């Protein structure tokens, strides 16, 4: 059996204690249950970016980490990764910053990852890199002579060529992406957008199994949605519903219906529009006044990036404004917490919520949508209101699907969800639950690893052989 080497920017096991908010760790926990190596940034800043990895062990997993220098952290992580690529890949070209020095640091930090990782690689290992921080990693590893199979999964959306063309050096980025043996995306739409970019930036036609040029490099691109262990999460939710903290929440509701939102505090999650929509629900459907409360759990995230600081100030103001306008002495309509909450607690809260409100402006998948569905009581389930621009909307079509920019449409969806008859709630939930049990964290890992091993896999995929024009000259 090949050893699996996961590479991601952050290593979950070495993150500070306490609840963590972030989808990547949740989706990959299963993948190394039989052991393997997980490599990434320690989360620590040192005088210099490390040249060698520090090794530790958690259970059967070997964990290898490097530290970053402050300058590399700023240019690689805060800069190119989160102020250039993140807004671009979330369809926010107006927020994209570009600085050539940051791009160079993005490449050099990937090279530092590769230099520290290469000595740890055994001949039969397969290497699986995760997310937009690590697009150049395969190029760097190949330059150091690593011959193993290397795959890449993009957790966030991919964009059409017309949008990628906004980015300086987009052709170089595409070329680096195509150095991987397998590239995976969350949805068919992202896969189609990738094909579009291959055609446009690399001038390579997509012809399944076609061989192009001489020193050709076969690339397999697949769409395989990430998921959760839905049945285990459902069991957790049932247990958590009896916990002291869930009981406290329930008592505080005094019979009112609960709407819940759970997100990292990120501008891609559509929180300002969501707050606005809740205000409109109370304005337009007055029967819900005093009868409903909306709990938004928003874990602070990337606080070094200026745009995130602005977002937090904006939401603090909006929350105050909504409560100031609508609250009564015995009713706080909007409860807003800017902290992470443990998964066990979240599971119980989801189960008590009549509506799960998941309205990102753009999102690779969105695991909160799946967690909310998993947590429901099948005999009296709540209703998922879901953005059409979350990757999850491609699968979860029995949710009430909304455009997250249209606060009135969200308010109408909330009204529909709050008044939906039980029989319809049960029928929708049954189908949704069946779907989230089909595409799980385990099936995601299995499909991707099969593709990387060159086997046929459950995921829909295209296989093509690419010789990017950039490498021909
Ligand atoms: P994220 O943007 O982090 O992940 P998401 O898929 O919603 O988004 O995952 C968040 C995870 O963190 C969930 O498991 C959720 O329970 C947890 N979480 C969120 N807010 C929390 C809070 N306040 N307290 C505690 N836990 C919280 C990225 C992509 C997504 C993609 C995932 C996985 O942006 O599109 O679905 O990776 O591929």
pLDDT number for residue 27? 65
- What's phi and psi for 355, nearest 5 deg? -135, 135
What's residue 216's pLDDT?
67
**Per-residue pLDDT, 20:** 59
% helix, strand, coil for the chain, step of 5: 45, 20, 35
pLDDT in tens, 237-267: 999 999 999 999 999 999 999 999 999 999 9
CA-nearest residue, atom 4 of ligand 1: 23
152 beta partners: 129, 183
Catalytic, out of 62, 72, 229, 363: 363
What is the C-alpha to C-alpha distance for residues 138 and 454, in angstroms, rounded to an integer? 17
Helical axes 170-177 vs 188-202, angle rounded to 10°: 120
pTM: 0.94
Whether 461 has a pLDDT exceeding 80, the answer reads no
Residue 459 has pLDDT above 70, yes or no: no
User: Does the pLDDT at position 306 exceed 60?
Assistant: yes
The verdict on the CB of residue 226 being under 6 Å from ligand 1 is yes
Nearest CA to ligand 1 atom 8: 23
The finding on whether 140 has its CB within 6 A of some atom of ligand 1 is: no
Per DSSP (E only), the strands in 47-140 are 54-58, 61-69, 126-130
* CB of 341 sitting under 6 A from ligand 1: yes
Q: Is the pLDDT of residue 212 over 90?
A: no
The answer to whether the 4-227+441-465 and 230-438 domains have the same CATH topology is: yes
355 token code pair: 């509506």
Other C-beta atoms closer than 10 Å to the C-beta of 378 total 10
Percent of the chain clearing pLDDT 70 (strictly above): 90
Q: What is the mean pLDDT of residues 382-404?
A: 98
| 18 — pLDDT class (breaks 50, 70, 90) | very low
The reported pLDDT for the residue numbered 199 is: 87
Domain ranges of the chain: 4-227+441-465, 230-438
Kindly state if the Cβ of 154 falls inside 6 Å of ligand 1: no
Rounded Cα gap, residues 189 and 191, in angstroms: 5
- Supply the pLDDT for residue 16: 46
Candidate from 367, 384, 396 with most ligand 1 atoms within 8 A of CB, to mutate? 367
Domain 230-438, what architecture?
Answer: 3-Layer(aba) Sandwich (3.40)
Q: Are the beta carbons of 440 and 197 closer than 8 angstroms?
A: no
Question: What spacing in Å lies between the alpha carbon of 304 and ligand 1's midpoint?
Answer: 19
Overall average pLDDT of the 43-67 stretch: 94
CATH architecture of the domain formed by 4-227+441-465: 3-Layer(aba) Sandwich (3.40)
Q: Tell how far the Cα of 22 is from the centroid of ligand 1, in angstroms.
A: 4
**Is 117 close to ligand 1, i.e. is its CB under 6 Å away?**
no
Which of ligand 1's atoms lies nearest the C-alpha of 340?
A: 24
pLDDT tops 60 at residue 115: yes
Average the pLDDT over 307-318 and give the result: 94
Confidence band of 209 (pLDDT split at 50, 70, 90): low
Residue 215 clears pLDDT 90, i.e. is over it:
no
- Whether 263 is in the pocket of ligand 1, judged by its Cβ within 6 Å, is yes
Q: What is the pLDDT of residue 13?
A: 54
Distance 27 CA to ligand 1 centre (A): 10
The residue assigned the tokens 């000595």 is 119
Closest residue to atom 20 of ligand 1, CA basis: 263
366 alpha carbon – ligand 1 mean position (Å): 6
CA distances from 103 to 107, 117, 140 (A): 6, 21, 15
| 366, 384, 404, best to mutate for ligand 1 pocket (most atoms within 8 Å of CB) | 366
Averaged pLDDT for residues 89-118:
97
Is the CB of 363 inside a 6 Å radius of any atom of ligand 1? yes
Nearest to 138, CA basis, from 468, 147, 211? 147
CA 87 from chain center: how many Å?
14
pLDDT of residue 124: 95
Catalytic residue among 90, 155, 175, 190: 155
Distance from Cα 368 to the centre of ligand 1, integer Å: 6
Active site residue 363: yes
Residue 122 has phi, psi (to 5 degrees) of -100, 155
Q: Per-residue confidence at 59, pLDDT binned at 50, 70, 90? A: confident
Residue 203 confidence (pLDDT): 81
Task: Answer whether residue 211 shows pLDDT above 60.
Answer: no
Atom 16, ligand 1: which residue's CA is nearest?
368
CB of 64 shorter than 6 A to ligand 1: no
Does ligand 1 come within 6 angstroms of the Cβ of 418?
no
Determine the pLDDT at residue 345: 97
What pLDDT, on the 0 to 100 scale, is given for residue 101? 98
The ligand 1 atom nearest the CA atom of 266: 2
For ligand 1, atom 15: residue with the closest CA? 368
461 assigned to active site: no
- For ligand 1, mutation pick of 15, 245, 368, 436 (most atoms within 8 Å of CB): 368
Please name the residue that has the structure tokens 């009564």: 328
Q: In the numeric block, which tokens belong to residue 346?
A: 């979240």
* Both structure tokens of 324: 């100031």
- Residue nearest atom 28 in ligand 1 by C-alpha distance: 23
Contact 107, 131 (CB under 8 A): no
Q: How far apart are CA 205 and CA 195, in angstroms?
A: 9
For 81-98, write each residue's pLDDT tens digit: 999 999 999 999 999 999
Is the Cβ atom of 373 under 6 angstroms away from ligand 1? no
Which is more confident, 87 or 303?
A: 87
The pLDDT value given to residue 470? 43
DSSP character for 320?
H
Q: How many other C-beta atoms lie within 10 A of the C-beta of residue 255?
A: 6
How far is residue 275's CA from residue 330's CA, in Å, rounded to a whole number?
20
Distance CA 194, CA 223 (A): 11
Ligand 1: which residue has its CA nearest to atom 26? Answer: 21
Measured CA distances, 190 to 160, 175, 370, 390, 394 (Å):
8, 17, 19, 11, 11
What value does the mean pLDDT of the chain take?
91
pLDDT given for residue 60 in this prediction = 87
Instruction: Please say if the pLDDT value at position 343 is more than 50.
Output: yes
How many whole angstroms separate alpha carbon 193 and alpha carbon 209?
A: 19
N residues, the chain: 473
Backbone angles phi, psi at 106, to 5 degrees: -55, -45
Q: Is 332 left (phi over 0), alpha (psi -120 to 50) or beta?
A: beta
> Quick one: 221 exposed, middle or buried, by C-beta within 10 A (0-12, 13-18, 19+)?
buried
What's the mean pLDDT in 16-26?
Answer: 57
Dump pLDDT digits (tens) for 172-191: 999 999 999 999 999 999 99
Task: Compute the distance between CA of residue 446 and CA of residue 455 in angstroms, rounded to an integer.
Answer: 11
Q: Give CA–CA dist 410/281, Å, rounded.
A: 8
359 backbone dihedrals φ, ψ, rounded to 5° = -130, 60
**Whole-angstrom Cα distance, residue 201 to residue 214?**
19
167 contact partners, CB below 8 Å, separation of at least 6: 84, 88, 96, 98, 173
Mean of the pLDDT values across residues 201-207? 77
- CA angle in degrees (0–180, nearest 5) for 30-109-190: 55
pLDDT value of position 2:
87
Report the Cα 340 to chain-centroid distance in Å: 16
Contact of 93 with 163, CB cutoff 8 Å: yes
Pocket flag, ligand 1, residue 261 (CB < 6 Å): no
As a whole number of angstroms, the distance between CA 454 and CA 220 comes to: 9
Ligand 1 proximity of 159 Cβ (cutoff 6 Å): no
Mean pLDDT of 275-299: 97
Sign of CA dihedral 442, 444, 449, 451: positive
* pLDDT (tens digit per residue) in 133-181: 999 999 999 999 999 999 999 999 999 999 999 999 999 999 999 999 9
């Amino acid at each position: 059996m090949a050893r699996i080497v996961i590479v991601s920017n952050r290593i979950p096991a070495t993150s500070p204690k306490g609840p963590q908010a972030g989808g990547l760790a949740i989706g990959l926990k299963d993948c190394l249950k039989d052991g393997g190596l997980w490599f990434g940034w320690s989360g620590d800043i040192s005088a210099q970016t490390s040249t060698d990895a520090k090794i530790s062990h958690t259970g059967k997993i070997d964990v290898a980490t490097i530290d970053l220098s402050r300058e590399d952290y700023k240019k690689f992580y805060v800069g190119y990764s989160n102020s250039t690529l993140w807004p671009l890949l979330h369809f926010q070209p107006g927020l994209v910053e570009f600085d050539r020095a940051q791009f160079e640091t993005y490449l050099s930090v990937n090279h530092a990852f590769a230099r520290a990782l290469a000595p740890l690689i055994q001949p039969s290992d397969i290497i699986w890199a995760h997310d937009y921080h690590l697009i150049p990693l395969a190029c760097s590893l190949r330059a150091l002579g690593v011959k193993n199979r290397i795959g890449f999964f993009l957790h966030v959306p991919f964009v059409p060529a017309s949008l990628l063309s906004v980015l300086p050096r987009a052709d170089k980025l595409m070329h680096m992406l195509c150095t991987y043996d397998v590239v995976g995306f969350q949805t068919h739409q992202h896969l189609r957008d990738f094909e579009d970019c291959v055609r446009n930036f690399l001038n390579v036609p997509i012809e399944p199994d076609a061989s192009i040029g001489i020193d050709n490099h076969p690339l397999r691109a697949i769409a395989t949605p990430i998921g959760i262990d839905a049945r285990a999460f459902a069991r957790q939710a049932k247990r958590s519903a009896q916990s002291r903290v869930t009981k406290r929440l329930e008592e505080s509701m005094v019979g009112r219906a609960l709407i819940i939102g759970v997100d990292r505090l990120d501008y891609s999650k559509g929180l300002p529009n969501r707050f606005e929509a809740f205000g409109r629900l109370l304005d337009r459907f007055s029967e819900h006044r005093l009868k409903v409360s909306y709990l938004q759990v928003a874990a602070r995230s990337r606080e070094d990036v200026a745009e995130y600081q602005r977002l937090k100030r904006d939401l603090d103001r909006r929350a105050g404004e909504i409560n100031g306008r609508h609250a009564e002495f015995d009713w706080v309509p909007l409860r807003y917490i800017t902290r992470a909450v443990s998964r066990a607690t979240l599971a119980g809260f989801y189960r008590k919520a009549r509506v799960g409100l998941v309205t990102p402006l753009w999102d690779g998948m969105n695991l909160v949508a799946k967690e909310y569905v998993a947590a429901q009581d099948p005999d009296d389930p709540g209703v998922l209101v879901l953005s059409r621009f979350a990757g999850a909307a491609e699968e979860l079509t029995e949710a009430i699907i909304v455009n997250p920019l249209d606060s009135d449409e969200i308010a109408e969806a909330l009204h529909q969800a709050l008044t939906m008859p039980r029989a319809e709630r049960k029928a929708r939930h049954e189908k949704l639950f069946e779907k989230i049990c089909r595409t799980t964290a385990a099936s995601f890992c299995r499909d991707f690893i099969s593709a990387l091993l060159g086997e046929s896999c459950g995921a829909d995929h295209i296989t093509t052989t690419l010789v990017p024009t950039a490498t021909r000259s």
